[in-house]
Amino acid sequence: MKNKALLVAAALMALSSACKKQNNQENQLTDSKNKDCNCTIEQASPDSKAEIITFGKGSKQFKIEKKDGQYILGGDMVLNEQQVAFLKRKYDQTGTVTESTFVDEFKKRWPGGVVYYAIDPALPANKQAWVTGAISHWETNTKLTFVARTTQANYVYFTPGSGCSSSVGMTGKRQNITLGNCSLGSTIHEIGHAIGLLHEQSRADRDDYIIINTDNIEDGKEHNFQTYVERGLTGGETGALDFGSIMMYPSSAFSSNGKPTITKLDGTTFTAQRNGLSAGDLTGIKYLYPDSVFQAN
């Protein structure tokens, strides 16, 4: 794949960006007009003021945002209280996160590759169509199975709200995927977070492929461009950085002045792909969810 940092189960990384196209054509994954975009990326509560929360000190720091009572990583990944407490404990006491402790709160895959879900009846019909379309896309292209929740305690709940966001990995209880000003492609992206994928620009070797132009990043958003190593987290990577990953930020992500925050090494820019899972995404997902996961089901 091209790599995918995984804040959750072991392998991947990817990048993000939200293509607009809010009409019935959003349900057409093959719509050539929706293959790429250079628009605003997925964010939780984009219109809410963010408080920057810093754990640790000096060179051993981890930063996240707090918006509307939620802790946000990378713009659209919502951390639960256990994950935040885990980070606070490790950074405030030791200044680092080790592999043995990292397993506890972040490396949680869906057993057997089965993702239970429910849809909020208040979610508008067109957005419910995004959900069913995104689920169909995941099931068609991967071995993951999405099952309507009955009494399961751990499940994904697709619900309306501000922006686009998701919890990271399986949390063990209800976890929301919030769909506001999103798209079908953004819904596929957010499901990626729920199964354990991070953003592609956060991979450890990203400097071999891209340049982060810090002078162009919005004040207070710089932490969204940290690698998982800089965050003190473990992860995994497969292949080269995937500019076509559905999890990849575009060059315009969090720009303060209209200039690119990310470019290729030669200085050229690129847009974000929100048409569907790339070949690289699929390779990484197979690494995260190998055949043994499904055989155990």
Please report, in range form, the residues annotated as the binding site for Zn(2+): 189, 193, 199
Query: What separation in angstroms does the CA of 9 have from each of 105, 148, 242?
Result: 10, 23, 19
Active-site residue (options: 42, 65, 105, 190):
190
CA-nearest of 77, 254, 256 to 175 is 77
Query: Cα–Cα distance between 132 and 148 in angstroms, integer?
Result: 11
- State whether the Cα torsion 144-139-79-223 is positive or negative: positive
Radius of gyration, alpha carbons of the chain: 18
Is-catalytic flag, 190?
Answer: yes
Are the C-beta atoms of 40 and 22 separated by less than 8 Å?
no
- Which residues define the annotated binding site? 189, 193, 199
Structure token digits, residue 96: 């680092």
**What pairs with residue 19 in β-bridges?**
none
| Residue tagged 């992206």 (tokens) | 189
* H/E element, 164: strand 164-167
Known catalytic residues?
A: 190
